[in-house]
Chain A
Amino acid sequence: MSDERAPGDKVYADVAGALTGLLHDGMTIMSGGFGLCGNAEACIEAVAGSGVKNLTIISNNCGNQGQGLAVLLKNRQVARVVCSFVGGNPDLAEQYLAGKVKVELCPQGTLAERIRAGGAGIAGFYTPTGVGTVVAEGKEVREIDGRPYLLERPLRADLAIVRAAVSDRFGNLRFYRTARNFNPLMATAATVTVVETDRLVPNGVIDPDDVHLPGLYVKRIVEVTEHRDVIEHRTTRARGGAPKQSELTRTRKGRA
């Protein structure tokens, strides 16, 4: 199938096509998103539908509230998760306690930097985060200029599934609001990066100065115009007038 493609053509007509030949049992997948914000929803669905098993998932949360990557957990496709936070994710907590899934908890900033390092050819870095905690177990601690630091190693994956707001045909990406989070980092740290973009535009539409992530990191692009973009906690303030922080009100309605 890929043989028929013109050289340099990264754009696929649908998600199934974009993932063709990439999924196999035992692989490591990075999945962008902070909770359910900025998920490559259609790619996640396709991974779930493919039935691949024994996956290692690198993601800040591995889904939440039974949605997103949590569907892979429900399907028992996941063997191991590297993440920073499992709160609000009963599927992960349950399978972790039952010994069905291994969880490597990693401080959020360390997780981000390990992925950045993985993409940037850095073999490791010394960070103050985690010194004197369970995170330091089994890791080198080195005192530099009188302060202890922890050696953290990079993360890489076979596949990164990334959500962008705009992509051109070369894969130059722009992200939207806090849906950016881990997406551009993960795009740099996988053997193959597949971008699920809200909007595909011709090259040249994105001004070179406005590119958030240069397209060389991107191997495959698929435009997906409809997303659910689930709100985990819908918090609002009273209407009218200038925003006053003292007017905050809270309503906790999940939107499916």
Chain B
Amino acid sequence: MSWTREQMVRRAAAEVLPGQIVNLGIGMPTEVANYINTQLSVTLQSENGLLGMGPYPSEDEVDARLINAGKETVTALPGASLFDSAQSFAMIRGGHVDLAILGGLEVACNGDLANWTVPGRLITGMGGAMDLAAGARRLVVLQNHTSKDGKSKLSTKLTLPATALACVNRVITDLGIFDVGGDCFVCVGRADGVGREAILRATAAPVLFTTATSGG
């Protein structure tokens, strides 16, 4: 069986290391915050100008002028700071954000990422995705392994417009965990009950399995 959305999000939360500065993208990556161990002293950065983002507010804490990059109301934790957009992206571009977890549309095994537009569909804009992909010290992409029509979202070469080149370190999908390996993906974890054959069938790129993932 493949991982559920919640299992994927929980697995992504395990990527977060103690003391890290982390930026979570819009959508599924935002939910990762719910599963980060509060003992880890992790600091969340939101690119609209907040470092030290807390959980959603209670009804009486709601403040229209304290939002995250998804334009949702949030809170600021003790120790938080607020700043302008140039400062925020200096943090991101300058390599001061340890980890970004972003959604994806397609990842190539050389680390190229596409996650901002699909030709022919209504254009939304890249927002901060290109800066985050180019600037975060480590980039983990959280996406389904295949599209709704069954097309692999892991490939040897991008078919969709790029967000940034050679930027992805790891992809977490409903089938497993894959590191980019240059000319192949390296499977470092498989969802329970998902065999190697199923992964190879669903992936439009070569996949290597480590000793930990080669069995079954």
Point out residues on A near B: beta carbons under 8 Å: 34-38, 60, 64, 83-88, 93, 96-97, 103, 105, 107-113, 115-116, 127-135, 175-185, 229-240, 243-250, 255
Contact = CB atoms under 8 A, between A and B. Distances in A.
B59 A127 contact: no
A115 B89 CA distance: 13
A217 B189 CA distance: 54
18 contacts: A35-B71, A93-B122, A93-B123, A107-B127, A109-B93, A110-B131, A112-B85, A133-B164, A175-B84, A178-B46, A178-B48, A181-B49, A181-B84, A182-B85, A185-B86, A233-B71, A234-B73, A247-B55
Given A109-B128, A112-B85, A178-B48, A129 B134 contact: yes
Interface residues of B, number: 58
B125 A83 contact: yes
Contacts of A111: 85
Contact of A249 (B33, B56, B82): B56
B199 interface: no
Contacts, number: 198
Given A84-B128, A109-B89, A234-B62, A131 B165 contact: yes
B65 interface: yes
Contacts of A109: 47, 85-86, 88-89, 92-93, 128, 130-131, 135
B72 A235 contact: yes
B65 A37 contact: yes
B84 A182 contact: yes
A243 B59 CA distance: 12
A31 to B, nearest CB: 13
B109 interface: no
A218 B128 CA distance: 28
The interface residues of chain A, by DSSP majority, are classed as mixed
B38 interface: yes
Interface of B: 33-36, 38, 46-50, 54-60, 62-67, 69-76, 82-86, 88-89, 92-93, 112, 122-131, 134-135, 161-165
A125 to B, nearest CB: 11
B65 A38 contact: yes
Given A112-B85, A129-B131, A133-B161, A178 B72 contact: no
Contact of B89 (A86, A108, A178, A243): A108
A180 B124 contact: no
A240 B163 CA distance: 41
Given A105-B123, A112-B89, 16 more contacts: A83-B125, A87-B124, A87-B127, A107-B129, A108-B89, A109-B93, A116-B86, A132-B165, A133-B163, A177-B65, A178-B46, A180-B84, A233-B71, A243-B54, A246-B35, A249-B56
Contacts of A108: 47, 85, 89, 126-128, 131
A127 B85 CA distance: 16
A199 to B, nearest CB: 14
Given A109-B93, A134-B161, A178-B82, A34 B48 contact: yes
A239 B58 CA distance: 5
Given A37-B64, A107-B126, A235-B73, A248 B55 contact: yes
A147 to B, nearest CB: 10
B34 A179 contact: no
Contact of B124 (A86, A175, A237): A86
Contacts of A127: 93
Contacts of A245: 33-36, 38, 55
Contacts of B59: 236, 239
Contacts of A255: 64
A119 B100 CA distance: 30
A132 B50 CA distance: 29
Q: Which 9 A-B pairs have the closest CB atoms?
A: A109-B89, A109-B131, A87-B124, A112-B85, A229-B64, A85-B125, A132-B165, A107-B130, A108-B128
Nearest to A232: B71
B84 A185 contact: yes
A182 B83 CA distance: 10
